[in-house]
């Protein structure tokens, strides 16, 4: 790598439960009475203690790893970032959260998101991918293969990362014997327009051992299928994916694998403050649950608890780690894993 920054490291050992590449974003949060349509103007509300703008840590992949880290599992992130003020804020947050890093700092600018949240907790997000969009397949293989090999599982996204870089990370992971996870966070049509082409997207999906699509993304893959369980089955069969975990907001999550399809209901909470990052929090909790030895349904319950805890606050990344972990554990009503890390938490 050119300019780089790495933390920790036990070269040659599989000492990280989860390694990931994807978006690392500085979120600028705004509150408004309603989300505007074309040619409309509106006023921003003041956020207590912050004024009209609250700056938060974010990004699909970084949020996932932050929530997974709450439960004590070892996680690492790799990729391209900028050595600017925003990048330094992001790296400080990763260090505080205990996320190991292996970063190329030659990016032009850090990723940024402008997020507008209404009084019902719904939001609109505008993203500037920055350094994440500059990541290449060659960069992944040449600079990060050894770091990937330290993981037991690789997680990545279809959101801001170019599809050829996503695909290369998945291939390197499989070469080293890692299980692979893909978060299909944007519509396939948007991914094709902004991140690559149809054939590369198809290849990414076929490299996934586990796929987490949003409901909207899944429906676009097979618009002729109305039933969500049938949709999950169609995606598994078309792309040869072992496990599908489909998130559907307040309805919970739909799981699909060789044992069939089944729903895991969401937890009820008094009020949604901000729905930003609920799916990321869910997936981080889910992946942590599996790493701790929970079965698919129990891991989804832990994921649902994290998603519920996330929407009770502004922002997606678990900066208030102790309070959010405590809230997620308060909501979680599944079996307790026998893993030592869980015993330390409870």
DSSP characters over 92-121: HHHHHHT-EEEEEEEESS-EEEEEEE-TTS
Q: Is 243 helix (H, G, I), strand (E, B) or coil?
A: strand
Does pLDDT of 316 surpass 70? Answer: yes
- From 90, 100, 110, select the one nearest 147 (Cα to Cα): 100
Q: With 90 as the cut, is the pLDDT of residue 29 above it?
A: no
Domain boundary assignment for the chain: 4-21+60-108+133-345
Range with the lowest mean pLDDT among 254-258, 331-335, 338-342?
Answer: 338-342
pTM metric for this prediction: 0.90
Which backbone phi and psi does 67 adopt, to 5 degrees? -70, -40
pLDDT in tens, 200-214: 999 999 999 999 999
Is the per-residue pLDDT at 8 higher than 70?
no
Q: Are 169 and 204 in contact (CB under 8 A)?
A: no
**pLDDT tens by residue, 264-300:** 999 999 888 888 889 999 999 999 999 999 999 999 9
Band (pLDDT 50/70/90 cuts) for residue 115 is confident
CATH topology for 4-21+60-108+133-345?
A: 3.40.1190
| pLDDT for residue 4 is more than 70 | no
Tell me the two tokens of residue 230: 């049938």
Tokens 């109305």 appear where? 226
Give mean pLDDT, residues 325-332.
Answer: 95
Q: Which segments of the chain are extended strands (E)?
A: 4-6, 18-21, 25-32, 44-45, 54-58, 75-82, 100-107, 111-117, 123-128, 153-158, 179-184, 210-213, 243-247, 253-257, 260-264
- Among 93, 74, 96, which Cα is nearest to 287's? 74
């Amino acid at each position: 790598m050119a300019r780089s920054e790495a933390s920790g490291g036990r070269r040659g050992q599989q000492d990280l439960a989860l390694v990931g590449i994807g978006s690392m974003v500085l979120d600028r949060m705004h509150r408004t009475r309603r989300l505007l349509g074309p040619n409309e103007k509106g006023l921003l509300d003041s956020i207590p203690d912050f004024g009209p703008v609250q700056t938060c840590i974010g990004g699909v992949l970084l949020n996932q790893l932050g929530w997974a880290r709450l439960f004590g599992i070892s996680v690492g992130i790799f990729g391209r970032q900028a050595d600017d003020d925003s990048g330094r804020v992001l790296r400080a947050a990763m260090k505080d959260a205990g996320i190991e890093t292996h970063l190329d700092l030659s990016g032009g600018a850090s990723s940024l998101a402008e997020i507008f949240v209404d009084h019902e907790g719904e939001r609109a997000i505008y993203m500037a991918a920055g350094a994440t969009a500059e990541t290449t397949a060659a960069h992944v293989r040449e600079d990060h293969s050894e770091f990937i090999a330290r993981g037991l599982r690789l997680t990545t996204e279809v959101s801001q990362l170019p599809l050829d870089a996503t695909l290369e990370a998945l291939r390197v992971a499989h070469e080293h014997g890692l299980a692979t996870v893909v978060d299909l966070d944007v519509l396939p049509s948007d991914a094709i327009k902004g991140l690559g082409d149809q054939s590369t997207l198809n290849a990414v999906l076929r490299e996934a051992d586990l796929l987490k699509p949003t409901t909207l993304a899944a429906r676009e893959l097979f618009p002729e299928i109305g039933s969500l369980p049938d949709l999950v089955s169609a995606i598994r069969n078309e792309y040869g994916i072992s496990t599908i975990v489909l998130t559907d907001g307040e309805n919970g999550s739909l799981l699909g694998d060789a044992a069939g399809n089944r729903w895991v209901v969401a937890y009820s909470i008094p009020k949604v403050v901000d729905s930003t990052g609920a799916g990321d929090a869910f997936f981080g909790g889910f992946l942590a649950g599996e790493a701790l030895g929970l079965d698919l349904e129990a891991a989804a319950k832990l994921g649902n608890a994290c998603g519920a805890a996330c929407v009770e606050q502004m922002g997606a990344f678990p900066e208030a780690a102790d309070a959010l972990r405590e809230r997620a554990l308060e909501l979680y009503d599944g079996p307790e894993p026998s893993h030592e890390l869980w015993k330390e938490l409870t």
